[in-house]
């Protein structure tokens, strides 16, 4: 069970530090639920400081696939490790849509994240036209296969998949619990073929797309929904903590 907050391009340094402090206070002891927040790069160091001593872990929202070098404006995996990141979100639909990320690019980053001890949260999901055309499974299968091409990993705790139907991200529209369950079961089946049954049983498959306190319990109680990747509702400590509590009860 994992609840991760994606703060996207929100919060300056002061606001991010404050939000991290508020999240720590609101979440308290999350028990068996793993919790992470993913602030903008410039606040990672300060947020790591604010999280120290708590159960809340740190993640980044993206990274480059190379170790270091002439890639102006980019951030490398060893840099993320050096500021205390455990997680990195890769292949978010906004990265695919606005920054031209491809499955091959995501794949290179996944390998680099794993090589550096970061847990990639790999985002997959179809756009509305693809769902209307009944192509959602095909699209997600291609994204999962592409992201994991040539990836070798034995421990299911080293990898996270987030199913985020693009039509549900930031729109207020949510997949129904049944739609989420169907796709999560499909993804688990793909992972079972790729990594074996016990790996697939234990890996966390998160749902993302307008999850909020009002709908979290229904989504998180689905058999194959192992947590959430939360955008908008992670920017308020209380609503983020309420989703963590929903997961505790799921």
- The distance of Cα 87 from the centroid of its chain, to the nearest Å, equals 8
Q: How far is the CB of 58 from ligand PEP (least distance, A)?
A: 17
Asked if 39 interacts with ligand PEP (CB under 6 A), we say no
Strand, helix or coil at 13? helix
Rule CB under 6 A: is residue 169 a binding residue for ligand PEP? yes
Interface residue with ligand PEP among 3, 6, 16, 87 (CB under 6 A) is 6
3-state class of 64 per DSSP?
Answer: strand
Question: Binding residues for ligand PEP, how many (CB under 6 A)?
Answer: 13
How many C-beta atoms lie closer than 10 Å to residue 42's C-beta?
Answer: 12
Smallest gap, in angstroms, from Cβ of residue 43 to ligand PEP? 17
C-alpha span between 241 and 66 (Å, rounded): 35
Residue nearest to ligand PEP (CB): 231
Six token digits for residue 98: 């606005």
CA distance 91 to 110: 9
Nearer to ligand PEP, 105 or 231 (CB): 231
Our CB check for ligand PEP shows the closer of 194 and 236 to be: 236
The least CB distance from residue 130 to ligand PEP, in Å, is 18
Closest separation in Å from C-beta 231 to ligand PEP: 2
Q: Of 58, 54, 59, whose CA–CA distance to 25 is shortest? A: 54
Q: Applying CB under 6 A, does 160 fall inside the site for ligand PEP? A: no
Task: Assess contact for 107 and 149: CB atoms under 8 A.
Answer: yes
Q: Which is nearer to ligand PEP, 126 or 195 (CB)?
A: 126
From the list 19-27, 104-112, 163-171, 215-223, the region that binds ligand PEP by CB under 6 A is 163-171
| Cα first-last separation, the chain | 10
Residues counted in the chain: 250
Distance of alpha carbon 177 from alpha carbon 41, whole angstroms: 33
Active-site positions read 92, 164
Smallest distance from ligand PEP to CB 38, Å: 9
Window 203 to 242, contacts with ligand PEP (CB under 6 A) = 208-211, 229-233
Q: Helix crossing, 13-27 with 237-249: angle to 10°?
A: 30
Judged by CB, which is closer to ligand PEP: 210, or 245? 210
Site residues, ligand PEP (CB under 6 A): 6, 164, 169-170, 208-211, 229-233
């Amino acid at each position: 069970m994992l609840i991760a907050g994606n703060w996207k391009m929100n919060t300056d340094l002061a606001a991010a530090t404050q939000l991290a402090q508020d999240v720590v206070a609101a979440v308290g002891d999350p028990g068996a639920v793993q919790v992470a927040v993913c602030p903008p790069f410039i606040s990672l160091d300060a947020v790591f400081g604010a999280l120290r001593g708590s159960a809340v872990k740190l993640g980044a929202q993206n990274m480059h696939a190379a170790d270091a070098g002439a890639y102006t404006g980019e951030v490398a995996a060893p840099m993320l490790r050096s500021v205390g990141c455990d997680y990195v979100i890769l292949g978010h639909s906004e990265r695919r849509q606005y920054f031209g990320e491809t499955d091959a690019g995501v794949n290179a980053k996944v390998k680099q994240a794993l090589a550096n001890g970061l847990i990639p949260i790999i985002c997959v999901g179809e756009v509305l036209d693809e769902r209307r055309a009944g192509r959602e499974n095909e699209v997600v299968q291609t994204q999962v296969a592409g992201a994991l091409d040539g990836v070798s990993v034995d421990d299911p705790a080293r990898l996270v998949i987030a199913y985020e139907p693009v039509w549900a991200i930031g729109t207020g529209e949510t997949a129904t619990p049944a739609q989420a369950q169907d796709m999560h079961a499909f993804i688990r089946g793909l992972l079972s073929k790729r990594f074996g049954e016990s790996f697939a049983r234990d890996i966390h498959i998160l749902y993302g797309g307008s999850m909020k306190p009002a709908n979290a319990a229904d989504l998180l109680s689905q058999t194959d929904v192992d947590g959430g990747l939360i955008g908008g509702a992670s920017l308020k400590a209380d609503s983020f903590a309420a989703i963590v509590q929903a997961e505790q009860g799921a």
